[in-house]
């Protein structure tokens, strides 16, 4: 394998999908008739299915975004989408008893990180 590509011989489609997921390609063209096997795609930036779906479709005209994770980053990140422009805050609400249950863990982690103020913010609330 070099930086431009590779030919990898496999014994089964399952093995091919496993190797592909380990590589986490930016673009993945799949030429199979049984689209049920697409469930085996785990990591890929953009997937092109069948002989009439070349990569250039996604680059220029089929509607998917061409800002894709490169260098194997598809293992952890999808291509750019509308979700990347939506702000989704997280919320936490605990009771005093709930905080007491996790306080030892919080205090230990905060003190281990050298964040005395974080530890103190828990200690003062559970008194």
Q: Which of 15, 26, 66, 113 is catalytic?
A: 26
Give yes or no: 55 in active site: no
- Single out the catalytic residue among 14, 15, 27, 118: 27
CB 84 within 8 A of CB 35: no
CA atoms lying within 13 Å on the CB side of residue 68: 21
Any idea what the Cα angle at residue 114 is, between residues 108 and 120, rounded to 5°?
A: 60
Q: Who's near 16: CB < 8 A, 6+ residues apart? A: 8, 10
Is 27 one of the catalytic residues? yes
Catalytic residues: 26-27
């Amino acid at each position: 394998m070099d930086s431009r590509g590779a030919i990898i011989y496999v014994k089964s489609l399952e093995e091919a999908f496993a190797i592909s997921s380990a590589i986490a390609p930016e673009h993945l063209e799949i030429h199979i008739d049984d689209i049920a096997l697409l469930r085996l795609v785990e990591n890929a930036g953009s997937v092109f299915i069948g002989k009439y779906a070349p990569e250039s479709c996604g680059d220029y005209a089929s509607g998917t975004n061409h800002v894709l994770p490169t260098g194997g980053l598809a293992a952890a990140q999808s291509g750019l989408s509308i979700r990347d422009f939506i702000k989704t805050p997280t919320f936490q609400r605990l009771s005093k008893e709930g905080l007491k249950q996790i306080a030892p863990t919080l205090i230990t982690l905060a003190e281990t990180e050298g964040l005395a103020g974080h530890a103190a913010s828990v200690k003062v609330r559970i008194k």
